């Protein structure tokens, strides 16, 4: 049997290797996502983060209930631990999804994606800095998010700080 005869017996599940395509710069294709779509995606993501937090909170409370020693755990310590846990979950969530695929679950649902100014994927470091910058955008009654309405490229404060943009996906 030669090589051409073997190709007939290739698995139907084998993927065809295609050359990597560079991002298109067609303005029709790379339109910026608007404020409402971004806000709805962020709301969906916050709901997912809260569900993750609640499940971890319930698991922790169950573990605390099983524990015999509850001494030394003050209300302020518990509150600070909860706030730190929620912040960690939010940072890890956005950092992971934006670095891994450019889309969090909320962005996937609404078909938008985070890319750099030159339409490349975010590095893990840039994704983390962008996630930290969300908190800056939320200061002063969310003014950093509202900048999206007035910016020509529909970028928020965290986009301006990290050199990113949110675009519509096909």
Q: Is 156 left (phi over 0), alpha (psi -120 to 50) or beta?
A: beta
Domain count, the chain: 1
Tell me if 35 is assigned to some domain.
Answer: yes
> What DSSP designation does 17 have?
P
Give dist(CA 103, CA 67) in Å, integer. 39
Tell me if 106 is assigned to some domain.
Answer: yes
What pTM did the predictor assign? 0.76
Tell me if 25 is assigned to some domain.
Answer: no
3-state secondary structure of 148: helix
So what's the pLDDT on residue 54?
92
Mean pLDDT, residues 135-147 taken together: 92
**Domain encompassing residue 145:** 31-59+75-168
Tell me if 26 is assigned to some domain.
Answer: no
Of 45-54, 70-79, 142-151, the range with the lowest mean pLDDT is 70-79
Q: pLDDT digits over 76-104, tens only?
A: 667 788 888 999 999 999 999 999 999 99
Tell me if 45 is assigned to some domain.
Answer: yes
Q: pLDDT digits over 57-80, tens only?
A: 888 777 666 665 556 556 566 778
Tell me if 159 is assigned to some domain.
Answer: yes
Mean pLDDT, residues 36-50 taken together: 96
Tell me if 23 is assigned to some domain.
Answer: no
Answer with the residue of higher pLDDT: 99 or 4: 99
């Amino acid at each position: 049997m030669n090589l051409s005869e073997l190709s007939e017996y290739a698995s139907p599940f084998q993927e065809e290797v295609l050359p990597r395509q560079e991002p298109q710069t067609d303005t029709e294709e790379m339109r910026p996502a608007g404020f409402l779509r971004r806000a709805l995606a962020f709301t969906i993501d916050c709901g997912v983060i809260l569900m993750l937090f609640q499940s971890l909170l319930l698991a922790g409370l169950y573990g605390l209930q099983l524990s015999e020693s509850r001494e030394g755990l003050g209300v302020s310590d518990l509150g600070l631990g909860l706030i730190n846990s929620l912040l960690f979950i939010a940072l890890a969530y956005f950092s992971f999804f934006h670095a891994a695929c450019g889309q969090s679950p909320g962005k996937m649902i609404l078909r938008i994606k985070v890319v750099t100014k030159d339409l490349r994927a975010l590095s893990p470091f840039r994704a983390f800095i962008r996630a930290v910058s969300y908190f800056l955008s939320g200061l002063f009654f969310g003014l950093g998010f509202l900048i999206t309405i007035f910016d020509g490229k529909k970028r928020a404060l965290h986009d301006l700080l990290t050199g990113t943009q949110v675009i519509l996906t096909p």
